Every structure is written in C-alpha cells, then in structure tokens.
Amino acid sequence: MDLPRAFTIRESSHRVCNPFTTEKLALLGRAISPSPGTRMLDLACGKGEMLCTWARDHGVSGTGVDISTVFLSAARARAAELGVADRIGFVHGGAAGYVADDPVGIAACVGATWIGSGMPGTVELLRRSLAPGGMMLVGEPYWRREPPDQATVEACHAERKDDFLPLPELLRRFGELGCDVVEMVLADQDSWDRYVAAQWLNIRRWLDANPDDELAAEMRAELAASPVKYATYEREYLGWGVFVLMNH
C-alpha cells in the first residue's frame, strides 16, 4: 500500500502537499488557536507539516495517517527536527475509515476528501473521531469561476462540473450537513503557484538525475504540458481552501 512514485517525484521538495504555503498553514493555526494539549487526528497527512508545526507552535499532540511511505518518512524526520516526536505519531495505512481510539479536539482531512468518497462522506468520517465541541478541518476545492466547458472541468481534476461547487454553495452545503463554518483560510493564486509550479522544477531535477528511469517519458510529457495547462485552467478556475467546522 503506497502512493505511485509520480506523486513523490512531483512533491519531493514540498513540505505542504496542497495549495497552501507554510505561511497560510501557520495563519490557519493562529486563526483557530488550539489550546496546548489539544489532540489532533490528521487523515491523509502527507509529510505531517501541520501536525509537526502546530505541535511546536501550539503544543498540540496527535496522529497522522497516510498511505505514502516516502511522505511518512519525511514526516517523522520533521517531527524529530522540530523536537516534537514525543507528541506526534504517524501511521502508515489508508485513511478511509480510520477512526481515533479516543475522541480528539481537532479532526482534519486537508485536501483528500476522496477518502470519504467526497466532502460529505469525509465530514461524517471526521465526526466519528471528534470530541464534543471539537473542530473539523476540511480542505476542499471550489470553482473560482464558472467552468465554460468539459475540457476545463477535466483539466481541473473533476469528471463533472458538479463535482465542485462555487464558494457560496460550498459554505451552504456545510450548513446542510449540520456544521457551523467558524473559520476559513483560502489559497490564492500565489500559493497555487508555489504548489504547482514548484512541481515543475522537482520533475526537471528528477529527470536530469534519472534519464533512463521507466517513468522518464511519462514525467517528461507531464513537464512539457503542465505549465500551459495550469495557466489556462487550474490557476484561473480552481479555488481551494481549508474550512473549519463545528457540529451544530
């Protein structure tokens, strides 16, 4: 059980594996200001940057779950680097269906709502680990602009336009699921650039070091096409944010 290598090649230099900068991740932490000792569960935690930096900055503890052995190795190294390995643990495995042994104050899935077959299912999954009065953090795309055609929809990683919602409708949908939206921090085009454009240099450096790898042709084709595709579609049409929810 692991991620395909292409993912770890693209994001080899990333600390945050979604369209958030480290500054926006820190802003989110300050916005909700968790009390020292708050326990967190982070499903599909990637390289564990949220858990590790919030343990350092806010005194939280908790567990991250991810399918990638490469990302979890980086997460454990980051926890050791920041001196928080005694408070943060990581579990290798699928996050779908994972429920904390004891209720947590913060349950998060930041940018991987496919683990619950979509945002509503992920909210229900997070609820199963949440202590009364706790917060859920959900990272989710939304349409910045109405996609004009199916090519735009597919270039933004959706099958149908209805796979994502405009921001007002997404916020309304959270309410229909029994949640109060109590905070949000949104990616902007610069943070999208730092996520996607940084992948191009990662790919190029990998290609230079691994010209004969079996993935080289695939990654070369991706590098050739990605900049124009990104500037045409994702950068203009696709928004993304982390939404902080509390049960009604």
Go through the domains of the chain in sequence order and give each one's CATH number: 5-247 (3.40.50.150)
Residue 103 pLDDT:
98
Residue 2 pLDDT:
84
* pLDDT tens series, the chain, 248 aa: 788 999 999 999 999 999 999 999 999 999 999 999 999 999 999 999 999 999 999 999 999 999 999 999 999 999 999 999 999 999 999 999 999 999 999 999 999 999 999 999 999 999 999 999 999 999 999 999 999 999 999 999 999 999 999 999 999 999 999 999 999 999 999 999 999 999 999 999 999 999 999 999 999 999 999 999 999 999 999 999 999 999 99
Residue 168 pLDDT:
98
Residue 241 pLDDT:
98
Residue 172 pLDDT:
98
> Taking the model in full, what pTM does it have?
0.96
What three-state secondary structure class fits 17?
A: coil
Quote the tokens at residue 27. 């802003």
> In whole angstroms, what is the distance from residue 123 CA to residue 232 CA?
31
What three-state secondary structure class fits 149?
A: coil
Residue 161 pLDDT:
96
For residue 156, which of 91, 239, 60 has the smallest C-alpha distance? 239
Encoded amino acid at 19, one letter: P
For residue 134, which of 29, 25, 34 has the smallest C-alpha distance? 34
